[in-house]
Amino acid sequence: MSANVSAAIHALEAAGVRVHAAEPLAGLDEVLQFSVDGDAATMRAVLERVFPVADLLVSAEAPVVPQVFVSDMDSTMIQAECIDELADFAGLKDQIAAITERAMQGELDFAEALTERVRLLGGLGEGAIAQCLAERVPPMPGATTLVATLKDHGCFTVLVTGGFHQFADPVADQLGFERVVANRLGVEHGALTGGLVGGIVDSSVKEQVLREEVALRGGASLATGDGANDIPMLRAATHGIAYHAKPKAREAAHGYVAAGDLTSVLLLLGIPRGDWIGD
């Protein structure tokens, strides 16, 4: 048994958490499973202290393959915040990125921040969207494998984002998502109007989408996201996993990926590498 595992067991027991077992997950030597009795928050705090850079999932039951997977897009399934990259074409990236960061940290109302950023983009040529997609919106490492593997196990996949259909639809096609819920940028005469078409997809809509799909399909659910507007969705899921997330989202989720890529989610769910689809 490694020194870190021994230290974790001693620290857990000293904190009043009884450890029944600490051993690799069946078929996954790289995943360490602790079976305990005690306060979940205390256990998590101890494990975070002993394993400061790691991926973690806390669950009252053994993790299962979900029937529903709902994920955020920007900085979760793709390596970009699309509105920030689009703003660069308008010469406004620093200004808009600062608003994005504050909204994702939970310091600004999401709907107000979104409306203000979109307003600033008014007049930008529609062609910037296609250029931005081609040049600045790569998938997050492991994204294709995560989606394909979950679908192969019978999971229905939804991409839900406070971003825009003009980006989310092609990203969903590329990654294999079966449903997309997003905002839509207004476009007239080949340029952005500075407004949105239809309602705003905010944190409440994200949670609602997850609950609707679970009511329709049943079973366990998985959610992934990185920002404050993902918190209700992460909390509502059976397994809400924050991905390289802002502090508030990480704290609110049932677990997090802080060391690996998106395939770490498969490991945390106990899906062995031999069952993965893709690279």
Q: Mind listing the pLDDT tens digit for each residue in 256-266?
A: 999 999 999 99
CB atoms within 10 A of CB 251: 12
- pLDDT of residue 20 exceeding 90, the answer is yes
Q: Mind listing the pLDDT tens digit for each residue in 154-192?
A: 999 999 999 999 999 999 999 999 999 999 999 999 999
- pLDDT of residue 279 exceeding 70, the answer is no
- pLDDT of residue 1 exceeding 60, the answer is no
Integer Cα distance of 275 and 41 in angstroms: 32
- Residue numbers annotated as active site: 72, 74
Work out the end-to-end distance of the chain between its first and last CA atoms, rounded to an integer number of angstroms. 31
CB-based contact 217:156 (threshold 8 Å): yes
Range 226-245 average pLDDT: 97
Q: Is 12 left (phi over 0), alpha (psi -120 to 50) or beta?
A: alpha
Round the average pLDDT of the chain to a whole number and report it.
95
Distances (CA, A) of 231 to 27, 52, 76, 133, 193: 31, 22, 14, 27, 30
Which candidate, 268, 256, 260, 234, places its Cα nearest to that of 64? 268
Q: How many residues does the chain have?
A: 279
Please report where in the chains the tokens 């909390």 appear, as a residue. Answer: 235
Residue 249's pLDDT is what?
97
Alpha helices by DSSP H, listed for 90-164, are 93-104, 110-120, 127-136, 143-152
- pLDDT of residue 48 exceeding 60, the answer is yes
Integer Cα distance of 182 and 74 in angstroms: 11
Which candidate, 258, 85, 97, 55, places its Cα nearest to that of 167? 85
Residue 47's pLDDT is what?
95
CB atoms within 10 A of CB 113: 21
The burial class, CB within 10 Å (0-12 / 13-18 / 19+), for 85 is buried
- Beta strands 55-57 and 28-37, pairing class: unpaired
Integer Cα distance of 23 and 46 in angstroms: 17
Which candidate, 161, 169, 150, places its Cα nearest to that of 222? 150
Which candidate, 230, 204, 231, 209, places its Cα nearest to that of 221? 209
Q: Which long-range contacts (CB under 8 A, 24 or more apart) does 42-46 make?
A: 42/15, 42/16, 42/17, 43/12, 43/15, 43/17, 45/15, 46/8, 46/11, 46/12, 46/15, 46/17
